[in-house]
Structure 1
Amino acid sequence: MSEQTRYLDLPGGRLAYDDDGDGPLIVCLPSMLDLRSQFRFLKPLLLDAGYRVVTVDQRGMGDTSADWPEYGSTPLAHDLLALLRHLDAGPALVYGCSNGAAAGVWVAAEAPELIRGLVLAAPFVRDGKSGFSQKLTIALMRVPGLAVPLYMSYYPKWVPTPPADFAEHKAKLKESFRRPGRAKVIADYLDMSHAESEARLDRVTAPVLVIMGTADIDWPDPVAEAEWVRDRLNGELVLVDGAGHQPHVDFPETVAGAVLTFARSLDK
């Protein structure tokens, strides 16, 4: 895996991604406020199976520039649309985690010729209902100086079965927030809405696979949410027992098996 960073200059900033392998294209979008190295375990399994894999840093994260005019699911969808056209490799399988799933839905509705299939992992394709403690945490993250420490203390809850290198990845993520222009990135993402993706659900015609961890704390009932998404998109569902909001980090082999089975079904 070369993991050589490539860049795509867009009107609002510079998008960072890596591009490895040959074969059918899979584009992976990590969950918000994380790095594209979130796919460090899934990516090699997909490469070994003969796929070309592109992973992307969202706006304000990792090697992608900061100080974009806006952040969130719909801006990410515009970036994905531009990237797919730039890659010019035909329709892609898009693996979107969390708000990355919302971006995949948006593009599948607006430019179906670019999407071969969607894998929606821990998908936020509509706005969720936050409990009091979650609302309080979000409010405190808007206080200058508290955002990064509060976010980094919450982050491990997304990965209930952490890999051996989890502390190293977490340190890398924390360091990324120290880069110039990143101080307000967390707050910029807090007001994100997925309403534009929800409004487009009925226009998605691409095959869909939903992957949800049963221990995903972002939903009061993650299984019920996964079933709702599956039913709205007439898709398939794989539940990963014990996985959190990043199922491909908790159980990469399980997720890779599901993704590859789905990807191969698109060739039939």
Structure 2
Amino acid sequence: MTGTSTPTTLFLDVPGGRLAYDDTVRGDGLPVVLLPGMLDSRAAYRHLRPLLTAAGRRVITMDLRGFGESSIAWDDYSPAAIATDVLALLDHLGIERAVLAGNSYTGATVVKAAGDAPERVGGIVLLDAFVENLPPTALQRAVFGVMGALLVHSPAFWGLYHRRMAYPGPRPADLDGYVDGLVAAMRTPGRKAATRGYVRGESAPAGWTAAVTCPALVVMGSKDPDFPKPELVADRQAAALKARKVMIEGSGHYPMADRPQATADALLPFLAELG
């Protein structure tokens, strides 16, 4: 990981593979578990994590199945499967309750975990998440299909997306090096199967929010290119979860990287209210 500090990588073996994570161990209030989006690593939070820890929070970041330093080959890469990983990690760390934050693909993961194990989840945060989205049009479905195929067969397309689309406002100073690492990781032997598992997963489930009873926060970049109408999507998510909504002006799909201070300013009051 890059950023102001490099946390120690720890590992947890679960049925099907090995998960990589890090943990600040100390901190006040409910621990916070940060999950990256698909095809990314926990280093996605390299700029936000220090801000949360400096505010006294215990922060845990976890690599997803198939990416980062987690093992590559799994039989299931779905948001629901990743939810079981998160709960297993809480068990492993002896954490009774935590706040779960998911970006993009793993927004569905934290919603699923909160619905399945309400006694373990004290709150959830959706960061530009694919949950309760507007139903796609036929054209959008076709475009998504083409984009999915490009991701599987051309890692360079993932780099192009990050460099040309995902950051319409400020770009992190380390973006080029970070994106080079993402593209190189996708070219690792065996990674194509993992990429295919994510692309074909249920990335935007509808109805999962009905089982959530804990407090929720929806954070959305106002210029997120993944949504034709970002604020409308955020409104739908906030209504479904009875959640607070925060729009981050000028941010794209990764507010924790392009607007880390604004993202921390949204998260910290929410975390403080949870105790």
TM-score (norm 1): 0.92
CA RMSD of aligned residues (A): 2.0
Which one-letter code corresponds to 1:6 in the other structure?
Answer: L
SS at match of 1:223: helix
Q: 1:7 aligns with which of 2, 6, 11?
A: 11
Q: CA deviation at 1:144?
A: 9.4
| 1:154 counterpart residue number | 161
Structure 2 counterpart of 1:18 = 22
CA distance in 1: counterparts of 2:180 and 2:248, whole angstroms = 26
> Shift in Å at residue 198 of structure 1?
3.1
- 1:100 equivalent in structure 2: 106
Q: Cα–Cα, structure 1 residues 205 and 57, in superposed 2: closer, same or farther, change >3 Å? A: same
Alpha-carbon deviation of 1:131?
6.8
Partner of 1:72: 78
Bigger mean CA deviation after superposition, 171-180 or 10-19: 171-180
* Distance (Å, rounded) in 2 between the aligned partners of 1:138 and 1:198: 19
| Residue segments in structure 2 that go unaligned for 5+ positions in a row | none
- SS of 2:190's equivalent in the other structure is coil
Letter in 2 for 1:50: G
Structure 2 counterparts to residues 170-209 of structure 1, below 5 A: 170-194=179-203, 198-209=206-217
Greater shift, 186-195 or 114-123, is seen at: 186-195
Tell me if structure 2 keeps the 8 A contact 1:212–1:247: yes
Conserved in 1, the CA contact under 8 Å of 2:132 and 2:237? Answer: no
Q: Answer yes or no: is the 8 Å Cα contact 1:2–1:20 preserved in 2.
A: no
Report deviation, 1:107: 0.7
What is the alpha-carbon distance in structure 1 between the residues aligned to residue 218 and residue 81 of structure 2?
A: 22
Runs of 4+ in 1 over 6 A off after TM superposition: none
CA distance in 1, matches of 2:139, 2:162: 18
In the other structure, the counterpart of 2:128 is: 122
- Judge conservation of contact 2:152–2:195 (CA < 8 Å) in 1: no
Q: Which runs of 5+ in 1 are unaligned?
A: none
Within the alignment, does 1:139 sit opposite 2:146 as a pair?
yes
Cα separation, 1, equivalents of 2:197 and 2:177: 25
Cα distance in 2 for partners of 1:44, 1:240 equals: 19
1:210 is aligned to: 218
Q: How many corresponding residue pairs?
A: 266
Residues 97-137 of structure 1, C-alpha deviations (whole Å, 9 max, x = no match):
11211111101111011111111110112465267477346
Q: Distance in 2 between matches of 1:218 and 1:109?
A: 26
Deviations, residues 16-53 of structure 1 (Å, cap 9, x unaligned): 11111412311000111111101000000011111111
Match among 169, 174, 181 for residue 178 of structure 2: 169
| Cα distance between partner residues in 1 of 2:145 and 2:72 | 21
Among all aligned residue pairs of Structure 1 and Structure 2, give the percentage whose two residues are the same amino acid.
36
Superposed CA deviations along residues 1-23 of structure 1, whole A, max 9, x for unmatched, are 45111111111111111111412
CA displacement at 1:140 relative to structure 2: 5.8
Work out the CA distance in 2 between the residues paired with 1:129 and 1:219: 10
Instruction: Return the letter of the residue paired with 1:150.
Output: F
Q: Deviations over 1:74-100 (max 9, x none)?
A: 121121121122122221111111121
- Change in Cα spacing, 1:136 to 1:236, as seen in structure 2 (3 Å) is closer
**For residues 126 and 144 of structure 1, do their structure 2 counterparts lie closer, same or farther at Cα, with a shift above 3 Å needed?**
closer
Q: Deviations over 1:226-255 (max 9, x none)?
A: 000001110100000111111111100011
Tell me the equivalent position of 2:93: 87
Secondary structure in 1 matching 2:271? helix
